[in-house]
Amino acid sequence: MASLFLNQSQRERYENVPGEISEYDLMQFFQITQQDKIFLKSFRGEHNRLGIALQIGIVRFMGFLPDKWQQQIPVNVAEKICSQLNSNIELLPLYGHRDATRTEHLQVILKYLKFRRWQPLDEIWLSPWLLNNGMEHDNEPILLSQVCLKLLQEKILRPSIGTLERIVGSLDEQLHQETYRRLSLLLTEEMKTRLTQILELDSTRDITSHRWLCQVPTSNTPRAINQTLEKINFLKSFNVHKWDLSIISLNRRKRLAQIARNVSNKYLQRMNATRRYPILICFLYESLIDTNDKVLEMFDDYWEHIVNGSKKELDIYQQTLFKSQNEAMKTLSQTVSIIINDTVTDDQLRTCIFEIYPKEMLREALFVTGSALRPTRQTYLYYLNNYYATLKQFTPNLLRTIDFKVAHSKDGFLNVLEILIDIQTGKRRKLPDDAPVDFITPSWNKLVFENDQQHIEILPQRQPYELCALANLRDRLRSGDIFVGISRKYADFNSFLLSNTQWELLRDDFCSQISMPSIPTERIDQRLQELESLLKPLDELLNAGVEIRLEEGVLVVPALPAEDIP
């Protein structure tokens, strides 16, 4: 049964002429052309010409003529039409006292505008078009607006809004049936059984899989990340990552998935199969997309957390080092002053120094000054080593579960990822001799290589190499150099563009909506003709010798006069 979804104010907007019309719409729909003037001359009486001119503008603007249009004419429309006809809006009440006259005039107007009336048979071609648009976006008010626009483009005088509301309102069941039909190859008996099972209680989790997948992580810890990765592995057990749901539009998938999230298990179980299974399919697919995005966000946030912790440790180290350096420099400077003192003989030197400064105190001073000369400890990257064990609690699972893809591989980072996965998951204990190092930035050199330089004979250190690779992974996920196949936030940039096949299907409809030809060369030819038509009056204007003029083929534009300062 068709549902009525418009409220009273929405219905009135479709049934009445708007109280105010924009200047752009006035120029586009209520401008009387030379051809219109010729057509209006065929009618006797100034009041008839005024009424017909107004009806022409309203039909062009709305694709519909309200019953009481004479009482609904906006002031700016009346002024626009009357100024072009040199008429007065007070003559409008004289128009169309006989219903037969009004009907006859409307028929003539529709013939002139090449419009036709709506016929019940039009529903036959409109329904497939509406179904296809509904699969893209099933919001009923939006669909109704699209139907009105489509009828206007086809030059069909639309029927009452109640008729179109009934057609759009009956679309919901058709959409579910069409979605089921498109997913029929995926909905095998085995798949239906497994989909039914996610609505049943799971004894290991003491919750249904459906509600478990709906839960959102509330913390950003290694344990929470591993629990989120467990959801991805569960979805992969359904082979969700191999499904091709391109036949279902993004908006439709998100709409059905949202239904699954907002209702209970019992409600889904009571649905008929035509509705339930497509909803669950879209729910699982969208859950995989959202969970992939969520776990990568958690990894990004956790990395930011340990970077902040490393910076704090560096600050503490530098403050402690500064205090210790003062004492160490004082000790060493006084020791040097004893050494260069000529009154202290060589055989008395060590005894004299150790009497003032014990050997342990001198060793500590040397250690402090030596620490200040070590560049590795003067960067927060050094302190990331303190978080290595914590990272290993989830990074092997992350690298094993997420299918990372490299958009640009000039520096061999794809091989770096493969080595990182092998080391993190325990398949490899040490770095290979030919491990790629081109991705290592200068700030990481001092940590990855012992002497702060990259040389063929010097192998990188394993733990800093892993940390450097994880840092690069995070940065490249942010920049899009690394992407995930099933994702929204971390997807391949090319996936956001229309494919050539999709564009060919949408080209005609899109071009008709913006009133442009579907072939680009036709539009270029139109613009060239418009340019040629404008050049002649421009040439006459320039030759008239006004301020802006042509002198020996050169365009002369005089300076603007300065404004007087008040």
The two three-digit tokens of residue 252, written as one number: 């439709």
Q: What is the C-alpha to C-alpha distance for residues 5 and 406, in angstroms, rounded to an integer?
A: 48
Q: Distance between CA 264 and CA 261 in Å, rounded? A: 8
Which range has the worst mean pLDDT, 140-154, 402-416, 461-475? 402-416
How far out from the chain centre does Cα 442 lie?
34
Tell me, what amino acid is at 214? C
- Residue 425's φ and ψ, nearest 5 degrees, are -90, 0
Q: What is the mean pLDDT of residues 349-367?
A: 71
What is the Cα–Cα distance from 474 to 301, expressed in whole angstroms?
10
DSSP, res 200: S
Q: Which residues of 358-377 are buried (b: 16+ CB within 10 A; e: fewer)?
A: eeeebeebeebbebbeeeee
Report the run of H or E that residue 549 belongs to, with start and end.
Answer: strand 549-551
Asked if 420 and 470 touch (Cβ cutoff 8 Å), the reply is: yes
Residue 411 scores a pLDDT above 80: no
Which sign, positive or negative, has the C-alpha torsion 400, 406, 411, 415?
positive
Q: Which of 91, 111, 15 is nearest to 51 (CA)?
A: 91
If you average pLDDT over residues 19-40, what whole number do you get? 89
443 has pLDDT over 60:
yes
**Model confidence band, residue 169 (pLDDT cutoffs 50, 70, 90):** confident
- Backbone phi and psi for residue 552, each to the nearest 5 degrees, phi listed first: 55, 40
CA distance 530 to 65: 33
Contact 228, 294 (CB under 8 A): yes
Query: 225 — phi, psi (to 5°)?
Result: -65, -40
Residue appearing with tokens 């059905």: 256
**3-state per-residue secondary structure call for 120-183:** CCHHHHHHHHHHHHHHHCCCHHHHHHHHHHHHHHCCEECCCHHHHHHHHHCHHHHHHHHHHHHC
DSSP 382: G
Buried b (16+ CB within 10 A) or exposed e, 92-125: beebbeeeeebeebbeebbebbebeebeeebeee
Enclosing H/E stretch for 490: none
- Lowest mean pLDDT segment, chosen from 201-215, 336-350, 400-414: 336-350
DSSP β-ladder status, 156-157 and 116-117: parallel
Residues 493-552 pLDDT 10s: 888 787 777 778 778 877 877 777 888 888 888 888 888 888 887 777 777 666 777 777
pTM of the model: 0.75
Predicted confidence (pLDDT) at residue 272 exceeds the cutoff of 50: yes
Confidence check: pLDDT of 199 > 80: yes
Under the banding of pLDDT at 50, 70 and 90, the label for residue 325 is low
Centre a 10 Å sphere on the Cβ of residue 454 and count the other Cβ atoms it contains: 14
Which of 274, 276, 235, 283 minimizes the C-alpha distance to 255? Answer: 283
- 378: which DSSP letter? G
Q: How many CB atoms are located within 10 Å of the residue 134 CB?
A: 23
* Residue 121 to residue 273: CA distance in whole angstroms: 32
Q: Confirm if 124 and 167 have CB atoms less than 8 A apart.
A: no
What are the distances in angstroms from CA 121 to CA 125, 154, 282?
8, 15, 35
